[in-house]
Chain A
Amino acid sequence: MCMVIILKNLGNRPNTKLDVMTNNDSILRFVYSTQGVCPPEIHFKINKDILEEVRFVGGGCPGNAQLVARLLKGRPIKEVLNYLDGIDCRDQTSCPDQLARAIISAANGDLKPAASFRTHQDMGSYTKVGLIGGLNGNRRTLEKLLEQIKAMGVTTVYCLGNLTGQSAKNADLIKYFRKNNITAIQGSLDWQFAQSEVTDHLPDLAPKDRDWLLRLPQVLNFQMQNKKAIAFFGDYIQGLPGFSDFEPFALEMNMVCGLTNFMQDETVFPALEAMVPQFETDIIIFSQILQWGHWHVGGKDFIGVGPAENRERLNWGLLTVESETVHFETVDMAA
């Protein structure tokens, strides 16, 4: 383990140093995969025995679901279960029934608390991957880039957030993503859109589109030959409730975001080099600062993904692994 050691208060009797740290460990977040109802997931939080928050995600009747969530918020679990008991919608279950099952599972420990961020593992192994970043809600840009990427024989494409922008066109872009089943990684603005009640400063977005954004992976984990790779947006993940520095990939994120300022501060690369032996991955891809780049430090490859469109040019990144060597280039085309 590497560390910094501070010796201080020299010259006086040592002070008693009392560090008091608090956290919100009593609030647990759960994600329940439903069966037989329209929304595929129910997200909820429990604080001791109080239901703090409920959200039916990915389908169903958004108005009714919101009403149910508001009515149940802040109520003791026992009371909530009384309300939910015996409601059928179809096939002998319903959204309330599924919520009841979810709460019971959480209470008896069968349903474990959710990780602070959502990770998706792509089970394939690739030699070439196309990377697209910062779409800013622009469907046409995505279509053009995909066309060129396909023409170059690259079949795997990952789109890193932000997918959305301060644009009224976001819904059109999301529709295209859904229709074509394109792998996307959530950005900080996408996450803000996904929060149902914090959108005053953002353009309108339908509940189903917000739900789609909410369910996006925040970290994508994939394999390129013998190399493990992750792709993520940036430091908003570290601010998510319950984030721990010791979760999988948290070290990689901390080194990229916190230590090196997204690889912009080369003076700390010696420290980065000392830390990389503890990494779980070999290739670390990020997109927050909207700059293309490739750094090779301590045997690991760090890839910065820039914006899809810049000064009337379109860009994407081609990541290749050949004979255990990582190559990265940006491909440029007219907008």
Chain B
Amino acid sequence: MAESVKVLPEEIQDIIDVHEWDMRTREGVQRFRDLKAKSLPSVALDEDLMYESLIPMQEELIAEIRRRYDEKNQGV
């Protein structure tokens, strides 16, 4: 899963912070529960749980990141 994020184009990497949580740790489990996730792997964007049990297509993930970026930067 982390690999699919690492291979995102550089211009996308520049506008995101990635945090990978290890489910073997108490901290990872707490984050999993905070996000109300149910299965693995899971991906959340800005605290919104977006993908569960699947690795999104790169295009789909990029589109969602761009949509959020544009939304936040309206009028900037």
Contact = CB atoms under 8 A, between A and B. Distances in A.
Binding partners A and B:
yes
Interface of A: 1-15, 17, 238, 245-246, 250-251, 254-255, 258-259, 267-268, 270-271, 274-275, 278
A6 B73 CA distance: 20
Contacts of B39: 268, 270-271, 274
A7 B16 contact: yes
B18 to A, nearest CB: 6
A14 B15 contact: yes
Contact of B1 (A5, A246, A255): A5
23 contacts: A3-B23, A4-B31, A4-B37, A5-B1, A5-B5, A6-B44, A7-B18, A7-B43, A8-B16, A8-B17, A10-B16, A10-B65, A10-B72, A11-B71, A14-B17, A245-B24, A245-B26, A258-B29, A258-B33, A267-B38, A268-B33, A270-B40, A275-B23
Contacts of B44: 4-7
A3 B38 contact: no
Interface of B: 1-2, 5, 14-26, 28-33, 35, 37-47, 53, 65, 68-73
B22 A1 contact: yes
A8 B40 contact: no
Given A10-B15, A10-B46, A10-B65, A5 B41 contact: yes
Given A4-B28, A6-B43, A245-B24, 12 more contacts: A3-B41, A4-B21, A4-B40, A4-B42, A5-B18, A6-B35, A6-B44, A10-B69, A11-B68, A258-B29, A259-B29, A271-B40
Given A6-B44, A258-B29, A15 B17 contact: yes
A8 B19 CA distance: 8
A11 B5 contact: no
A26 B57 CA distance: 46
A275 B21 CA distance: 14
Which of B24, B33, B68: most chain A Cβ within 10 A? B24
B29 A254 contact: yes
Contacts of B38: 267-268, 270-271
